[in-house]
């Protein structure tokens, strides 16, 4: 029957599938939809503040959310390197079983430079969407008595390489723009095995590319000695992503190619986002609150418009103190996502809580160790998923090109 498998595979309408689904790997089952789950630039300082950042202007740390914020770094800094890595413990409950996984990620990195007292530039790379899933079900080909196990696996992401420019327009207003190039590769595999573990593998390799742009502003509504209240807003837009896909069918054990499909052209439109927020800052506290609105993707039938509400605070007793404890930072944050996908009328909502402690390495470099808990979905939809994440955020600063005065 092997020689008939390619034709049977193409005619998926002939397949009847049992409803039971079993998790077999790491990553969210909800990332199977579209090109994966959005990240919303939730890295570094923003992650510590629960995802807030539209109005945040930190003199010490890069804010990945609003392009206009990156000239808020103090004049004592002329270079910053920001890197974010994480270790994750995941639990997925499908109703039939509970599976635990662990995995690590390099989330993003960015290099920042001061161009003048008023203007800065940075470049970096970060994911826009993340896809990583694995699950299985039991099914029968129509007209065949044999029972097969079908195993789905998929991984990949859309990344952006960006250049950020920010400058001041007066003493209260800052603006920024962040053009980006998007690229991504996805691997999707479906394995069909009989009771003797004999069968075939259907694999797809997909590549996408496109461009994007982000722009934002921040204005100090209240600005006096020691206290600043800032309002900020930012928007994010992506072009239609152009892609190509190749696919083939091969034997599971021997990797003998049974069918090789012609390359096809694809396109995909990611949803845009806008967000606005306020922040309060004095010598020790940074408090931020945001509302994000995400537009639905026109190329994903499960995609819907969503809102993300974020709130966070960071406390540094005295950044330049000679007392090590007073130089440490302490952060708390939380957010709620109403759900960017909807399955059979049910929105897949999520919430997060986070905390972090920062340790100074010197006057311009710090290591932040954070913890985040995320809860998403429900077993009545597909699965209830929880994620415990330990994050290391390393900020290295230097004073290249900084002119010093000597008396």
pLDDT digits (tens, 9 = 90+) for 96-121: 888 888 888 889 999 999 999 999 99
Model confidence over 251-305: pLDDT tens digits?
Answer: 988 788 999 999 999 999 999 999 999 999 999 999 999 999 999 999 999 999 9
pLDDT (average), residues 220-239: 94
The pLDDT assigned to 400 comes to 52
- Per residue in 314-346, pLDDT tens? 999 999 888 999 999 999 999 999 999 999 999
Give 364's pLDDT tier (boundaries 50, 70, 90). Answer: confident
pLDDT band of 1, cuts 50, 70, 90: very low
pLDDT category at 402 given cuts 50, 70, 90 is very low
pLDDT tens-digit profile of 42-94?
899 999 999 999 999 999 999 999 999 999 998 888 899 999 999 999 999 99
Q: pLDDT tens-digit profile of 230-245?
A: 999 999 999 999 999 9
Query: Which has more confidence, 12 or 175?
Result: 175
Residue 26's pLDDT is 66
Task: Determine the average pLDDT of the residues in 372-394.
Answer: 96
Q: What is the pLDDT of residue 3?
A: 37
Which residues share a beta bridge with 202? 190, 249
User: To the nearest whole number, what is the mean pLDDT of the chain?
Assistant: 89
**How large is the average pLDDT for residues 191-197?**
89
Tens of pLDDT, residue by residue over 14-54, are 333 333 343 334 689 999 999 999 999 989 999 999 999 99
Each domain of the chain, given as residue ranges in start order, spans 25-398
Give the pLDDT confidence score for residue 144 in this predicted structure. 75
Could you write out the three-class secondary structure of the chain? Answer: CHHHHHHHHHCHHHEEECCCCEECCCCCHHHHCCCCEECCCCCCHHHHCCCCCCCCCCCCCCCCCCHHHHHCCCCCCCEEEEEEEEEEEEEEECCCCEEEEEEEEEEEEEEEEECCCCEEEEEEEEEEEEEEEEEEEEEEECCCCCCEEEEEEEEEEEEEEEEEEEEEECCCEEEEEEEEEEEEEEEEEEEEECCCCCEEEEEEEEEEEEEEEEEEEEEEEEEECCEEEEEEEEEEEECCEEEEEEEEEEECCCCCEEEECCCEEEEECCCCEEEEEEEEECCCEEEEEEEEEECCCCCCCCECCEEEEEEEEEECCCCCCCCHHHHCEEEEEEEEECCCEEECCEECCEEEEEEEEEEECCCCCEEEEEEEEEEEECCCCCCEEEEEEEEEEEEEEECCCCCCCCC
The CATH class of the 25-398 domain is mainly beta
pLDDT above 90: residue 172? yes
State the pLDDT at residue 399.
Answer: 61
Contact 63, 166 (CB under 8 A): no
């Amino acid at each position: 029957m092997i020689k008939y498998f390619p034709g049977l595979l193409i005619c998926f309408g002939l397949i009847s599938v049992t409803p039971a689904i079993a998790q077999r790997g790491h990553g969210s089952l909800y990332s199977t939809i579209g090109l994966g789950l959005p990240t919303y630039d939730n890295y570094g300082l923003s992650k510590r503040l629960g995802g807030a950042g539209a109005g945040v202007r930190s003199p010490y740390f890069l804010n990945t959310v609003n392009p206009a914020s990156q000239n808020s770094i103090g004049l004592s800094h002329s270079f910053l390197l920001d890197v974010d890595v994480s270790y994750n413990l995941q639990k997925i409950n499908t109703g039939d079983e509970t599976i635990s996984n662990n995995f690590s990620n390099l989330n993003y990195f960015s290099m920042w430079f001061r161009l003048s007292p008023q203007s800065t530039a940075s470049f970096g790379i970060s994911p826009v969407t993340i896809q990583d899933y694995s699950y299985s079900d039991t099914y029968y080909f129509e007209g065949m008595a044999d029972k097969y196990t079908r195993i789905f696996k998929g991984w990949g992401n859309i990344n952006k390489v960006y250049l950020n420019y920010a400058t001041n327009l007066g003493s209260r207003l800052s603006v920024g723009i962040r053009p980006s190039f998007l690229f991504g590769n996805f691997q999707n595999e479906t394995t069909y095995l009989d009771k003797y573990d004999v069968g075939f593998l259907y694999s797809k390799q997909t590549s996408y590319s496109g461009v994007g742009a982000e722009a934002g502003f921040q204005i100090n509504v209240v600005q006096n000695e020691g206290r600043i209240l800032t309002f900020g807003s930012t928007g994010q837009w992506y072009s239609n992503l152009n892609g190509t896909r190749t696919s083939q069918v091969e034997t599971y054990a021997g990797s003998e190619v049974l069918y090789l499909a012609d390359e096809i052209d694809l396109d995909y439109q990611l949803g845009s986002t806008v967000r606005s927020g306020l922040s309060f800052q004095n010598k020790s506290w940074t408090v931020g609150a945001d509302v994000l609105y995400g537009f639905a993707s026109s190329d994903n039938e499960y995609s819907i418009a969503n809102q993300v509400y974020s709130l966070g605070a960071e406390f540094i007793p005295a950044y330049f103190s000679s007392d090590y404890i007073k130089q440490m930072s302490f952060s708390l944050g939380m957010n709620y996502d109403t759900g960017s996908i909807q399955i059979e009328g049910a929105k897949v909502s999520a919430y997060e809580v986070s905390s972090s402690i920062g340790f100074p390495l010197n006057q311009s470099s710090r290591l932040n160790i954070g913890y985040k808990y995320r809860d998403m979905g429900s077993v009545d939809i597909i699965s209830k998923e929880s994620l415990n994440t330990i994050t290391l955020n390393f900020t290295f600063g230097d004073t290249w090109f900084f002119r010093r005065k000597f008396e």
